[in-house]
Structure 1
Amino acid sequence: MADQSRNAVIAQSDLERLVFELPPLPYGTKDLEPVLSAETLEIHHGKHHARYVETLNRLLAEQNFSAHTLEEIIRIAHGSGAKGVFNNAAQAWNHSFFWESMAPKTVKPAGLLASAISSEFGSLETLRQRFSAEGTGHFGSGWVWLIAKRDKLEVISTHDAGSPILEEGVTPLLACDVWEHAYYIDYRQDRAGWITSWWNRLANWSFAETQFDAAIGQGKPWRYPPSQTAR
């Protein structure tokens, strides 16, 4: 029965296919300078992120995937072993979440999230140290995340296209990209310097607060823009 249900989700008419679009950045390409240069954003968003979306759309057409949201596709592809679809879908999602995780002006967390940080880590500085250690110690490409399991906070890292949304009950709050292309133009091999600058000057705590509210049942979490149907 489970296989029949999954097939019903994946099966698709030959007359239509899903097309995901590359969402625009939530700020201008120069708005994060000098922490991230316009050149970095133009290449990272306009080339790397765009390629994931383009490749995903091609693979969805070739493999007859039909799910209504990118989140569904990520979970279905992971569960069925469709590595190409999973990698490109997850990277499209991860990058969009990463853009939302940054803002031209950062402010300290407040409200319920600030209380949760104090309860879980003791202080924002301790959380910063934990986040930095996770990112600098991560071997190879991937992502560093602040996540919530309901009202409990954790810092984790995922390799390559790995995503915390695969785990039931997890809500990501912030993500920092530690793939080398995310920072090499501006920081060369200095990943630690990149993470420190990201945390101190770009981390979007207003977005994290909204995500945390969703984690504890007081709102809805961020979602990738829904697909369009092309015929």
Structure 2
Amino acid sequence: MDLPKNTFKAALKARQQQIGLWVSIPSAATAEALATCGFDWLLVDCEHTPNDPANVQAMLQALAPYPAHAAVRPGWNDAVEIKRLMDAGAQTVLVPYVQTAEEARAAVAAVMYPPRGVRGVSGMSRATRFGAIPNYTARANDEICLLVQVETKAALGQIEAIAAVEGVDGVFIGPADLAASMGHPGNMGHPEVKAAILDAVRRIAATGKAAGFLASDPALLREVVAAGCTFTAVGMDIGVLVSGAKALVAEWKG
């Protein structure tokens, strides 16, 4: 059995647009259903959900047969949590709340085996296909995709330094926390916030690293893509569920 290729990482390097969806419902069945819909990538979220490594592993197993690439967001830039998620099989990790190049380097260290990093070695994890992948520890780093999340006003000034860190494949702009840090909580569409988002995406793209974003506003998403975003999450599973349910209620009870 060979080491799985990270097709998402290759697509970002080639600057091919990747359309994705946030997966926050802690359910392997829901994740598998979404995998049939045609998205390029699905992000299993552990930051704002009850997901834990055991649940994530079940969701990754459910997603494995499908073309949609599975990424995982840990709850924090924590090497222990990241190690457990990667042992569960995650090859692409989105680390939240990265403020500086130093914090980006810590994220790189967490996802990489020595000598590049500090990821602990486990020979019988799902990541190694339970020992079936030859020389996994020596080869795994090549297929790891690290994305870091910039989501505060202060971090915007550090984009070039963060993107320059070796091992960082992409920088994701977190719009909700960014809006809050700019004094506009809950208002991602505020002109000041929107201008900051578009400027950040252009600056990330100019570094040669991939730029990422999440929103449910199609007009904003189109502008962000035009600015250079290449891994674009166009919604969240709970949002899709609730909006669809409300549309049914409006149709049949309105």
After TM superposition, the score normalised by the length of structure 2 is 0.23
After TM superposition, the score normalised by the length of structure 1 is 0.24
Bigger relative contact order, structure 1 or 2, given CA contacts below 8 A and separation 6+? 1
